[in-house]
Each structure stands twice: as structure tokens, then as C-alpha cells.
Structure 1
């Protein structure tokens, strides 16, 4: 099973489109906030992605109808929770407690515009970084999360050069 996570596209439909089209094999596409308008535009142009694409509301998604948090059951009893993260005061550490509340073993989040991948207890906590405005000195990025057996294998990809 493959999950593509993207976040903080902030109007850059080119970035979102290029990344999604680069990975048509993904089972799920999760937008971790601040990009609902361009995601909706993409889904209008590519309706075949609709049933497997999800969005959570970010702090810049004004008048969004998306939820602030998404819980998704995966194969073999795994579960993910996705959120933007702007409503949590405890930083990345508070993601662990969200996972505990939701009985999830994977957390996807945005807002910080920085790539992140670590494990706390039995919870994998991943931020794809920003696909448009990174704040970590690295190129615009997204994350691929492969569920292989009982393990999450996480990699960060870079938004293709002509679409940044």
C-alpha cells in the first residue's frame, strides 16, 4: 500500500499536479492542509483521483468545508490520522497524543513547512514538508509512505524543477 502526502501548496497547482501525476500508483493521496483550492481544481481536471484523495483544513484554507482531522483505516489493522497541526500547542510531540487518542500508528501533518519523519513509541510521525514554500532550506517536497508488511517505509521526494 502506498500513501502520497503533500502539504502547504499555497496556490501552486503546478506543484500538486506534477507530484500526483508522477505517482499514479498511490492508493491514497492526503493533502495535509493549506491547499484546498488547488486540490479541488486538480480533482475537477482529474476526477479519477477523487475517491482516493483527502484533504484536511489548514489555517489558510478559509471557508473550507474539509475536516480539521482525518482518520483512515488502512490494511492489516493499521490506521492513520492526518491533520494540519496549527491547532496544537505542543508541537510535534503533541502529534503522538493525537495518535493515541485515535488509535493510529501513523500521523501525517503539515503547517511547519519542514520535512519530518520520526518514531515515538509505536507511532510514525511524518510531515511531507511544503510543496511550495519550504522553511527548512530544502527543495519543495512531498512524502511517500509505503506500508510493507507491518512497517512504514517513508521517503521524501522533491517537486519536479519546472513545477516549483
Structure 2
């Protein structure tokens, strides 16, 4: 199972579409907020989507958090602002324990983050549009195979931007 993870697009949903057009064999897209309307620009045919709203998404029909099972792993998905993620993992960690989550996917900080804490993988893909960590805009890929989990960050590169400008 290959999962593409995006956060904090803030009006630049075309970037998600650009990434997805270049990735092979994505089974699921996880979007952890800010700005859900950006997904209207994304070609979602035959792609499972898990999405939550962020602090800049004003859609009451979209949940603030979600617990899903994918490939036998419990994944807790939230934007992170409601867990004071900018101050550390404490609140989100205890919520993940309550939910017996294997993986926590969050955003809000606009910074890439990956850490395993007592058997729980915490993953923030960074921002696909407005990074705050001094790195390029980013997204993530999580792969789950036979109970093994790998997670990586990828840059949204200058080449991707050139393609958009040529359109």
C-alpha cells in the first residue's frame, strides 16, 4: 500500500495534482488540511482519499480528525492545531495512545517531521506550498507492506514549478 501525504496547500492544489501525475502506483491520498477546497483541482479517479480539515478550512462537513485502518495499520489523521503540535508531541501522543494508533499523520507546522515514539510513527509531510523549515515545499510517501512501514519526505522541486509555468 502506497500512500501520498499532503498538507498545507493554501490555495495551491495544482501542486498536489502535479505530484500525483508523476507518482506511480499510489493507492491512497491523505490530506491533513489547509485548504480542502484545493482537492477540487486534483484528479482523484480511482484513488482512496482520507481528508481532515485544518484551521483554515471552514467546512463543517469535514472532520477535524479521523482514525482509519489501511493495510492493517491504524492511522490517526489530524491537522494538529487542535493538539498544540507547535509546542510538541505530548497532546497528540496521548491521543494516539488512546486510539491505539500505529501511525499519526499531521500538518499545521509547515515543517517536515518524522519520529517513532514507543511504536507509534509520527509523520508530518511539511507544506506543499509554504514551507517554514528552510527546505523546499514537500510531500510525503508512506508505504505499508507486510506490516512494515516506511515513510519519506520528498521535495516539490523547481522542475515541477517549471512544468506549471509552461502550461
TM-score by length of 1: 0.89
1:64 deviates by: 4.6
1:9-46: per-residue Cα shift (whole Å, max 9, x none)?
Answer: 0000221111122224111100010021111232xxx3
Where does the alignment leave 5 or more consecutive residues of structure 2 unmatched? none
Q: Distance in 2 between matches of 1:82 and 1:7?
A: 11
Q: Distance in 1 between matches of 2:7 and 2:14?
A: 13
1:97-147: per-residue Cα shift (whole Å, max 9, x none)?
Answer: 121121110000000000000001010000000000000000000010111
Where does the alignment leave 5 or more consecutive residues of structure 1 unmatched? none
Secondary structure class of the residue paired with 1:97 = helix
Report how many residues are paired.
159
Aligned pairs (5 A) from 1:20-99? 20-42=20-42, 46-49=43-46, 52-75=48-71, 77-89=72-84, 91-99=88-96
1:112 corresponds to which of 109, 125, 149:
109
Runs of 4+ in 1 over 6 A off after TM superposition: none
The answer on whether the counterparts of 1:18 and 1:159 sit within 8 Å (CA) in structure 2 is no
Partner of 2:140: 143
Q: Distance in 1 between matches of 2:60 and 2:137?
A: 24
Mean Cα deviation higher: 64-73 or 3-12 = 64-73
TM-score by length of 2: 0.87
